[in-house]
Amino acid sequence: MPTLAVDIGGGSIKLVALSPDGALVTETLAEPTPKPATPDAVFKLIRDMASTLPPHRRVSVGFPGVVKKGVTFNAPNLGDELWRGVALSEKLAELLQRPVRAANDVDLQGLGVVRGEGVEMVLTLGTGMGAALFTNGALVPNLELGHHPFRDGKTYEDLVRDSELKRVGPIEWTTRVLDALAQIAPIFNYDMLHLGGGNAQNIRAELPDNVRLFTLAEAMRGAQRLWDA
């Protein structure tokens, strides 16, 4: 029976079912994230969306914030005050009547795309900027790099988030992304950077040789691997 993958984002919530080998067995189902994104509203939407997909035996959830032992600690793009201390795994398991594991969204996506060789970083460009770090396939969880100061008193996320792409356009935004990569590379000295998220397609420049783009379909395989981590 498939694993249900749930990706909670600031702009949309996506669900897809995965076979035991990580292959997608349904089309990705997406709905706008409720406004305000209260836990009750988000959980109800996930339940309603899940009911339209084939039966599944377990659920993996990627959440846009720090998650420890299934409990959310923050949610910068959903509302910290709404999500501080929410027992995400427990509450969704009760609602869906399935075992649930939850992780930071980029941590989960990283499990789907890393190769397990050397130091690998995963960055996602969407509503904000997510980051994950792996060493020989082992995850360093909850790396909130996007909120670290970058320049001019602003964070990485402040400068490359979706609202800035819309404001300054893809050319200036691409310059900012490349500047961010140039800053990050000598800090983490990664062997490979996996770059994804809905806005990665807007990059208007050639990327360094050790940077590769990945798709959501690749990333969602992490939902299966979360149960093996």
- Whether the per-residue pLDDT at 118 is higher than 90: the answer is yes
Domain parsing of the chain, residue ranges: 3-108, 115-219
> Does the fold of domain 115-219 match that of domain 3-108?
yes
Tell if the pTM clears 0.75, that is, is over it.
yes
Topology (CATH) of 3-108: Nucleotidyltransferase; domain 5 (3.30.420)
Which tokens hold the place of 163? 């609202």
- Given a contact cutoff of 8 angstroms between Cβ atoms, the answer to whether 121 and 156 are in contact is no
* CA dist., res. 186 & res. 180, Å (int): 11
Fold classification of 115-219 (topology level): Nucleotidyltransferase; domain 5 (3.30.420)
pLDDT of residue 23: 87
CA distances from 13 to 45, 61, 114, 149 (A): 8, 10, 23, 28
Phi and psi torsions of 205, nearest 5°: -160, 160
> What is the three-class DSSP state of 103?
strand
pLDDT at 1: 84
pLDDT in tens, 75-110: 999 999 999 999 999 999 999 999 999 999 999 999
Residue 86 β-bridge partners: 72
